[in-house]
Amino acid sequence: MNGSTVTQFVLLGFSGSQSAQLLVLLLVSICYTIVLVGNLLILVTVWTDTKLFQCPMYFFLANLSLLDISLGSVASPKLLTNILISRCTISYAGCMVQIFTVHFFEAVEMFLLAVMAYDRYVAICHPLRYTTIMDRQRCISLLLLCWVGGLIHGISQTMITTRLPFCGPNILDNFFCDITQLKKLSCSDIFVSEILYVFSDSLIILPNLLTLLVSYVTILVTLCGRFGKGGRKGLSTCGSHLMVVFLLYGPLLFVYLKPSSASKVDKMASIFYLVVTPVLNPLIYSLRNQEMKGAMAKLKNKCKHFLLNQQ
Per-residue burial over 64-94, b = 16 or more CB atoms within 10 Å of its CB, e = otherwise: bbbbbbbbbbbbbebbbebbeeeebebebee
- The pLDDT, as a whole number, for residue 108 is 95
Cα torsion for 262, 254, 21, 38, to the nearest 10°? -170
Which span out of 147-151, 201-205, 234-238 was modeled with the highest average pLDDT?
A: 147-151
Confidence of residue 157 (pLDDT cuts 50, 70, 90): very high
Q: Give the DSSP letter of residue 163.
A: T
CA distances from 193 to 11, 74, 182, 251, 269 (A): 22, 24, 12, 21, 22
Please, what is the Cα angle at 115 between 43 and 179, to 5 degrees? 85
- The pLDDT, as a whole number, for residue 294 is 83
Q: Which residues lie across from 9 on neighbouring strands?
A: 90
- The pLDDT, as a whole number, for residue 139 is 94
pLDDT digits (tens, 9 = 90+) for 20-64: 778 888 888 998 999 999 899 889 888 888 888 889 989 998 999
CA distance 11 to 266: 14
pLDDT digits (tens, 9 = 90+) for 89-128: 889 999 999 999 999 999 999 999 899 889 989 988 898 9
Q: What homologous superfamily does CATH list for 8-310? A: Rhodopsin 7-helix transmembrane proteins (1.20.1070.10)
Q: Looking at the predicted structure, is the pLDDT value of residue 18 above 90?
A: no
The length of the chain is 311
Decide the pairing of beta strands 171-172 and 88-91.
Answer: unpaired
Per-residue burial over 172-210, b = 16 or more CB atoms within 10 Å of its CB, e = otherwise: bbbbbbbbbbbbebbeeebeebeebbeebbeebbeebbe
Q: Looking at the predicted structure, is the pLDDT value of residue 241 above 80?
A: no
- Residue 262 identity: A
CA distance 164 to 193: 8
Supply φ then ψ for residue 8, to 5 degrees.
-155, 160
- The pLDDT, as a whole number, for residue 250 is 75
Q: Give the DSSP letter of residue 126.
A: S
CA distance 280 to 284: 6
CA distances from 178 to 98, 145, 173 (A): 9, 26, 9
Question: Read out DSSP for 39-60?
Answer: HHHHHHHHHH-HHHHHSHHHHH
Q: Please, where are the H alpha helices in the chain?
A: 18-48, 50-54, 56-85, 92-125, 130-133, 136-162, 179-182, 191-223, 229-256, 263-271, 277-287, 290-310
Q: Which residues contact 144 (CB under 8 A, 6 or more apart)?
A: none
Which span out of 12-21, 149-158, 281-290 was modeled with the highest average pLDDT?
A: 149-158
- The pLDDT, as a whole number, for residue 247 is 75
Residue of higher predicted confidence among 300 and 99: 99
Confidence of residue 231 (pLDDT cuts 50, 70, 90): low
Residue of higher predicted confidence among 167 and 158: 158
Decide the pairing of beta strands 88-91 and 8-11.
Answer: antiparallel
User: Mean per-residue pLDDT for 228-248?
Assistant: 67
pLDDT digits (tens, 9 = 90+) for 132-153: 999 999 999 999 999 999 999 9
